[in-house]
Structure 1
Amino acid sequence: MFTGIIEDIGTVSNLKTELDNLHITVKSTMTPELKIDQSVAHNGICLTVVAINSNEYTVTAIKETLNKTNLSTLKIGDQINLERAMKLGDRLDGHMVQGHVDQTAVCTHVEETNGSWMFSFDYDASLNNITIEKGSITINGTSLTVINSKKDSFSVAIIPYTYNHTNFNTFKKGTVVNLEFDVLGKYVSRLLELRTLN
């Protein structure tokens, strides 16, 4: 379980394909605090640390993960949002995030708005994920509040701190991002779907 509060921006230092898997090596300032088998969210995707070497560590993404996220688009040198799993008893500064990406979205607009930034995204509504105005959304692992909620699009407003301490500062029109929709919204959506089937 995560909170969506990014701890560090890592840099992809190596990518290695093995059968259907992708081994991703990341350089991060928090590597010395990690251990093998630990869960770390990478752009919102919960992955397990499988190797540690100095200030770099490696995680493995399987085919299912690669098909549903933006990990297959990674290149060496890319920045990646990182968060370790939350500790029991810690403050929940963001919202409840599982680290299970629901789908990707495409950035359609970036606008600087006199001290903050507005980012807009389109996503495939046929997958039955929903946003609500002022509800929670996780974009590349970052816990945010939805504005301009529509059936297949939404926007978020980013404060300077978030812009400077996540990989949002690399987003432009066409950037593919990972989305994890609010878990309560997913349950409500599924229950309504089941109700209409009966």
Structure 2
Amino acid sequence: MFTGIIQGIAIVSSIKKKYQFFTYNMKFPNYLTLNLNIGASVSNNGCCLTVTKIHNHHVYFDVIQETLIKTNLSLLSVGSKINVERSLKFGDEVGGHLLTGHIIGTAKICNIIHTNNNRKIFFQVQDVWKKYIFLKGFIAIDGISLTVSDIKNNIFCVCFIPETLCNTNISMKVIGDIVNIEVDYYTQIIIDRLEKLNFNHIIH
């Protein structure tokens, strides 16, 4: 589990691609490798991945076909900057909201509005995911815990404060970029359960 509070930005140092699979490593900030072990779970742009190797603050991850299909990790290249968060421990503060690291899909940035001290970014999602997104509801974008400030059809808006812009890779995004989306876990369970019980008139 994760909290959606990004702990650092790591830079991709190398990528080895194979058929429907690749391995990459990132240079982590020194404080994030303290007591980090092989087998640990780390959020990479919101996607829960397993540490396979650690060497001189370089951390290695494997990415399989399912992850490549559903996330923006397939778009990585050397020099890409990734939001990272180590897994939650019992007793840790949950500063954002609980995340599983299971990405449901991606969204496309369709508009960005800059103001003096914050930024509004509009995201377009596939129609199949819009039923899980609500005004003032939780959503995670590239692993960042956020609140939906507006939504219309399959486009929703999130407002970013300077703190988030300074400490995540969201400030580097431009129109057309693809981001990972994780909807609120409990909302997804409730909606899916109602659909199975044939309460579609309530959902839609």
Deviation at 1:112, TM superposition (A): 1.2
Deviation at 1:147, TM superposition (A): 1.2
For the 8 Å contact 1:32–1:55, the answer to whether it is kept is no
Deviation at 1:32, TM superposition (A): 4.2
* Structural mapping, 1:117-196, within 5 Å: 117-127=119-129, 129-196=131-198
* Structural mapping, 1:40-55, within 5 Å: 40-55=42-57
Per-residue CA deviation, residues 79-138 of structure 1 (Å, 9 max, x unaligned), is: 000000011111111001000000100001111122101011001012465211111000
Aligned residue for 1:9, secondary structure, equals strand
CA spacing shift, 1:145–1:74, aligned 2, 3 Å: same
Q: 1:87 is matched with which residue? A: 89
CA distance in 2 between counterparts of 1:186 and 1:97 reads 12
CA distance in 2 between counterparts of 1:4 and 1:77 reads 23
CA distance in 1 between counterparts of 2:154 and 2:190 reads 18
Q: Tell me the TM-score normalised to structure 2 length.
A: 0.93
Deviation at 1:173, TM superposition (A): 0.2
Q: 1:20 is matched with which residue? A: 20
2:197 maps to a residue whose letter is R
1:97 maps to a residue whose letter is L
For the 8 Å contact 2:8–2:84, the answer to whether it is kept is yes
Give the counterpart of 1:63 among 62, 65, 83.
65
Of 126-135 and 168-177, deviating more is 126-135
Q: 2:9 is matched with which residue? A: 9
Q: 1:98 is matched with which residue? A: 100
Unaligned runs of 5+ in 1: none
Deviation at 1:41, TM superposition (A): 0.2
Deviation at 1:174, TM superposition (A): 0.2
Q: State the identity as a percent.
A: 38
Per-residue CA deviation, residues 51-105 of structure 1 (Å, 9 max, x unaligned), is: 1110211001100000000011011101000000011111111001000000100
Deviation at 1:140, TM superposition (A): 0.1
Deviation at 1:31, TM superposition (A): 2.8
For the 8 Å contact 2:130–2:153, the answer to whether it is kept is no
Aligned residue for 1:174, secondary structure, equals coil
Runs of 4+ aligned structure 1 residues displaced above 6 Å come to none
For the 8 Å contact 1:129–1:181, the answer to whether it is kept is no
For the 8 Å contact 1:148–1:154, the answer to whether it is kept is yes
Deviation at 1:190, TM superposition (A): 0.3
CA distance in 2 between counterparts of 1:99 and 1:77 reads 23
CA distance in 1 between counterparts of 2:155 and 2:185 reads 18
